[in-house]
Amino acid sequence: MVNKQRLESCLERAHAAEQAFAAELTQEQRTALGTYAKWSAKDSLAHIAHWQERLAQRLTALTEGKEPPASQTHYEQANAACFERFCNCSWDEVWAFADSALSQLEMAVRAMDEAKLTHPPPDAPSRALWLDIVGTGYTHPLMHMSEFWTQHGQSKRAGELWQEWGELATPLDDNADWQGLAHYNMACGLALAHNTQPAIDELRQALRLKPSLLAWSRHDSDLSSLHSLRAYRELYAPDYWWKALAASPQVEAMADQFVRTLTMFREAVKAFPAEEWAKGDTPYQRPAGLALHTVEAIQDYTALKPGESGRGRRFGVEWEDRESSRLPAQKALLVYLDEVDKELARFLTDADLMAPEELFRWTGSSLLSRAAYILRHTQHHLAEMCLELHRRGLAAPQWQ
């Protein structure tokens, strides 16, 4: 359970980390001018401080029972305005602002009632306030400081920051979402320090607890020391997918979306109790039939030559068959999906996606159009399966 003392400790550590960051910069790094596309050290500090000051003002208003300042939902516009405001200021001016903003945030947290910190506020009822405090006050500054050190050849220093973060932030809450983020940041710290096996172990836990990190993590430069390792690749996709994932940008994009969609599809199949699997008032409400139809369609549409389509009739039953007992059990369906998964990976790897569509012209003008058609069709029926899970009071797969 989150408590105020732990939050204050996180902010104290953030303050110490910012002071150490400033002290370790060379005079040239302090005075360097950046661009909006490539921020300097002082640009990053001004950006960090802008959001800390905004949060301090919001907390103070909530404490005093006043209307919080209007949220800046257009983050890019707010960041651009902050850059313009401070880009030509001196280091001393920016540092004074940064030091003051974090001090204001620390004081605002100390002044708040603990119950308000651990419950959603009126202006953001879907999110506990402590998440914003840790995110803006501690996690966000570390993101920019570690990025700076990594870009300047000091990845070990960046890794130390994230490992310190893990020691303080991990115990804040024990729910899966927070623990997933905690393990992920620890993985980043270990990877930056080139402690590869512990980093992979932490990343494996992170992706299990918080699957929504999957897409971001595959392109996170903090994990670059892991990218060539087979154990890292296996966290994202079987070996037969990696040729597609490493191909052209178009193939990689489609492969990535298919891997994530089919991972969710598998979880949806597994989420139905055996006694619910073949039940449904209509064919479109019957998970076994929907799943069979989806996998058969993938297999049919991955044909590359005339005569290869129509392969998807493994079980000798139509997916709309009234006799539910004839439909495949979950285990048999998943075995079939694994085989079709390989055929889909082969299709994306071997096909020239820019080539004209000759076999299934209703899917579009090119093989890329067909790939998108398969993806849309799969997601359509996955959504129906998730709706059935919700309707039956069962947990649907987490977004990936």
Predicted pLDDT at 334: 97
Q: Are 120 and 128 in contact (CB under 8 A)?
A: yes
Same structural domain, 253 and 355: yes
Beta bridge partners of 356: 366
Same domain, 168 and 87: yes
Residues 141 and 289 in one domain: no
Q: Binning pLDDT at 50, 70 and 90, where does residue 2 land? A: confident
Please give the residue that has the higher pLDDT: either 119 or 176: 176
Of 128, 149, 173, the residue at which a domain comes to its end is: 173
The residue among 173, 191, 207 that closes a domain is: 173
CATH number at residue 165: 1.20.120.450
**Are residues 33 and 113 both part of a single domain?**
yes
CA distance 340 to 296: 8
Q: How far apart are CA 92 and CA 22, in angstroms?
A: 11
Q: Residues with Cβ < 8 Å from 75, sequence gap 6 or more?
A: none
Confidence of residue 320 (pLDDT cuts 50, 70, 90): very high
Residue 191 neighbours by CB distance under 10 Å:
28
pLDDT score for 125: 78
Looking at every residue in the chain, the average pLDDT score rounds to: 91
Sequence-distant (6+) residues with CB within 8 A of 292 are: 315, 317, 319, 327, 328, 333
> Distances in Å between the alpha carbon of 225 and those of 246, 256, 328?
17, 21, 43
pTM summary value? 0.70
Q: What is the pLDDT of residue 309?
A: 66
Q: What burial class does residue 123 get, using C-beta atoms within 10 Å of its C-beta: 0-12 exposed, 13-18 middle, 19+ buried?
A: middle
Query: Could you tell me where the DSSP H helices lie in the chain?
Result: 4-24, 27-31, 41-63, 75-86, 91-111, 114-117, 129-134, 140-151, 155-169, 176-192, 196-209, 214-218, 230-233, 239-245, 249-271, 287-301, 330-350, 367-391
Q: At residue 312, does pLDDT exceed 80? A: no
Confidence of residue 80 (pLDDT cuts 50, 70, 90): very high
Does pLDDT of 311 surpass 70? no
**144/254 same-domain check:** no
Residues 373 and 253 in one domain: yes
What is the band of 72 on the pLDDT scale with cuts at 50, 70, 90? low
Predicted confidence band of residue 262 (pLDDT cuts 50, 70, 90): very high
Least confident of 19-28, 64-73, 377-386: 64-73
DSSP, res 273: -
Task: Quickly count: other Cβ atoms within 10 Å of residue 205's Cβ.
Answer: 17
Ranking 213-217, 229-233, 279-283, 389-393 by mean pLDDT, the lowest is: 213-217
Measured distance CA(349)–CA(366) in Å, rounded: 15
For residue 325, being part of any structural domain is answered with yes
The answer to whether residues 282 and 385 belong to one domain is yes
Mean pLDDT on 230-252: 89
Angle between helices 330-350 and 249-271 (to 10 degrees): 180
* 183 inside domain: no
Q: Quick check: is 105 in a domain?
A: yes
**Calpha distance 29→79 (Å, rounded):** 21
In this structure, are 23 and 163 located in the same domain? yes
pLDDT band at 310 (very low <50, low <70, confident <90, very high): low
pLDDT of res. 24: 94
What residues does 366 pair with on adjacent strands?
356
In angstroms, the CA 220 to CA 230 distance is 17
- Provide the 8-state DSSP code for 277: T
Question: Six-digit token pair at 162?
Answer: 């994230």
Q: Same domain for 263 and 156?
A: no
Q: Which tokens in the block code for residue 197?
A: 């096996």
Domain count, the chain: 2
Residues 155 and 45 in one domain: yes
Given a contact cutoff of 8 angstroms between Cβ atoms, the answer to whether 141 and 111 are in contact is no
Which pLDDT score, from 0 to 100, does residue 73 have? Answer: 64
pLDDT at 26: 95
pLDDT in tens, 333-348: 999 999 999 999 999 9
Contact 327, 317 (CB under 8 A): yes
Give the end of a domain, one of 131, 155, 173.
Answer: 173
In this structure, how many other beta carbons lie within 10 angstroms of the beta carbon of residue 147? 15
Q: Which residues contact 106 (CB under 8 A, 6 or more apart)?
A: 8, 11, 12, 15, 137
Mean pLDDT of 66-74: 75
Structure tokens at 126: 């879907």
In-domain check, residue 376: yes
H or E element that contains 199: helix 196-209
Instruction: List own/partner pairs for 325-331 with CB under 8 A and 24 or more apart.
Output: 325/278, 327/278, 327/286, 327/288, 327/289, 327/292, 328/288, 328/292, 329/274, 329/277, 329/288, 330/269, 330/270, 330/272, 330/274, 330/277, 330/288
Angle in degrees, CA 216, 181, 80, rounded to 5: 60
As given in the structure block, the two tokens for residue 85 are 């405001």
DSSP symbols for 284-309: GG-HHHHHHHHHHHHHHHT--STT-T
Same-domain check for residues 345 and 266: yes
Percent of the chain with pLDDT over 70: 98
Considering the domain boundaries, does residue 230 fall inside one? no
CATH number at residue 301: 1.20.120
* Confidence band for 124, pLDDT divided at 50, 70 and 90: confident
Residue 1: pLDDT band with limits 50, 70, 90: low
Residue 370 has pLDDT above 80, yes or no: yes
pLDDT grade for 122, boundaries at 50, 70 and 90: confident
User: Greater confidence, 72 or 370?
Assistant: 370
Q: How far is CA 327 from the centre of its chain?
A: 35
Q: Looking at the domain assignment, is residue 116 inside a domain? A: yes
| Mean pLDDT of the 136-144 span | 93
Average pLDDT over residues 157-180: 90
Query: Are both 17 and 151 inside the same structural domain?
Result: yes
Do the domain assignments include residue 370?
A: yes
- Alpha-carbon distance of 388 to 400, in angstroms, equals 19
Q: Is pLDDT of 400 > 90? A: no
Q: CA 281: distance to chain centroid?
A: 36
Residue 203 lies in a domain: no
**Residue 115: domain span:** 4-173
